[in-house]
Amino acid sequence: MIVVTGAAGFIGSYVVGKLNREGFKDIVLVDKYDDPLKFQNYQTKTYSEMVDRDNFFDWLAVNEKLVQMIIHLGARTDTVGQEPEIYQQLNLKYSQKIWKACIQYGLPLIYASSASTYGEGELGFDDDHALIPRLKPLNLYAQSKHDFDCWALKQKDQPFFWTGLKFFNVFGPNEYHKDRMSSVIFQAYNTVFQTGKMDLFRSHRPDFKDGEQSRDFIYVEDVAKVILFFMNHRTNSGVYNVGTGESRSYLSLTKAVFKSMNKVENIGFVDTPADLLGKYQYYTCANIQKLISIGYSEPFLSLEDGIEDYVKNYLMPGSRY
């Protein structure tokens, strides 16, 4: 039995679907099932049980002998939220309880960290454990993820295997409920479909031209493959970057969306919203050498190939994975 937290959300529900495809059916979905927009993310999945996140630890105390692994993907993911106690409760304290439960019951743990913890990238994007405590996140979400990474690395008592995965900019099916927090690919598709054009944020830094802000964009299928790798690997505990190792501009991304939709490019620029100024990463690029060094050898989809698959096989037909 595999437990997946955040199972109704974007990455969590996709991972459940990926597990189903790989033959795993005995899966426990843990989440807060109060968002009707997430219903389609899990309604077609095969699983053993749904557990409310508030009841999870009581459930685990009764069923721990049946559980083989916890994949902890649940979190408050809003990057512009202004309620620190919510991030501390859901992203830090809840994760600490899962960590301690994995020690108590002898369970391996895979958990989601975030590349947002790297802040402006002034120290680079290297997953060296010695570097992590020095990072300077830009928002409450990133800070809560960073706080847990730092806490985990300090613990003398650890699960017999654990890994924290610093996901870079993930896009793909099942993010339909995320609204403003959805990927630029999803937002661009919908905007182009409705209006025939797409506006990107202007640069507010002299070292970046408009549209040349760039991120390491990774397709959710590749994220799921990395998680399955660690499910089977179960050695070399630690924090790992999960990105492609290549940074691509928002302009290139938007052009690829237009091409996948067979639309003529019509791209403009608008000022970055005030609530994002000072909290916006202009550049990210994962150093993935540590992941490769422990045996991960699957090639990552290019940005163009990932967008084409997403647009043509999911967004245009309105499909869920």
> What does the pLDDT look like over 19-52, one tens digit per residue?
999 999 999 999 999 999 899 999 999 999 999 9
DSSP 29-75: EEE----GGGHHHHTT---SEEEEGGGHHHHHHHHGGG--EEEE---
Across the chain, mean pLDDT equals 95
pLDDT of residue 159: 98
pLDDT band per the 50, 70, 90 thresholds, residue 320: low
Candidates 87, 63, 65; CA nearest to 76 is: 87
- pLDDT at residue 280 greater than cutoff 80: no
Give the model's pLDDT for residue 272. Answer: 86
Phi, psi dihedral angles at 211 (to 5 degrees): 85, -10
d(CA 72, CA 74): 6
One of 42, 141, 189, 219 is an active-site residue; which one? 141
Residue whose token pair is 């009707």: 36
Yes or no: say if 90 and 113 are a contact pair by the CB < 8 Å rule: no
For 43-98, what is each residue's pLDDT tens digit?
A: 999 999 999 999 999 999 999 999 999 999 999 988 878 899 999 999 999 999 99
Task: Quote the pTM value.
Answer: 0.95
pLDDT value at position 166?
98
Residue 277: the pLDDT is: 75
Task: Give the CATH fold of the 2-171+216-244+285-301 domain.
Answer: Rossmann fold (3.40.50)
pLDDT score, position 78: 85
Is 178 marked active-site? Answer: yes
299 pLDDT tier (thresholds 50, 70, 90): very high
- State residue 89 phi and psi, 5-degree precision: -70, -50
Separation between Cα atoms, residue 81 and residue 86, nearest integer Å = 9
pLDDT at site 82: 81
Q: What is the pLDDT of residue 198?
A: 97
Span of 70-74, 156-160, 201-205, 285-289 with lowest mean pLDDT: 201-205
At 281, is the pLDDT very low, low, confident or very high (cuts 50, 70, 90)?
A: confident
Band (182; pLDDT cuts 50, 70, 90): very high
- Res 278: pLDDT: 72
Tell me the three state secondary structure of residue 215: strand
Active site residue 141: yes
- Note the pLDDT tens digit of each residue in 225-279: 999 999 999 999 999 999 999 999 999 999 999 999 999 999 999 998 887 777 7
Using a 10 angstrom Cβ sphere, with 0-12 exposed, 13-18 middle and 19 or more buried, the burial of residue 293 is: exposed
Q: Which of 178, 197, 259, 263 is catalytic?
A: 178
pLDDT band at residue 319, thresholds of 50, 70 and 90? confident
pLDDT for 72:
98
Q: 295 CB contacts (<8 Å, ≥6 apart)?
A: 229, 233
List 69's β-bridge partners, or say none: 2
Beta-ladder partners of 269: 200
The mean pLDDT value for 174-192 works out to 93
Identify the pLDDT of residue 276: 78
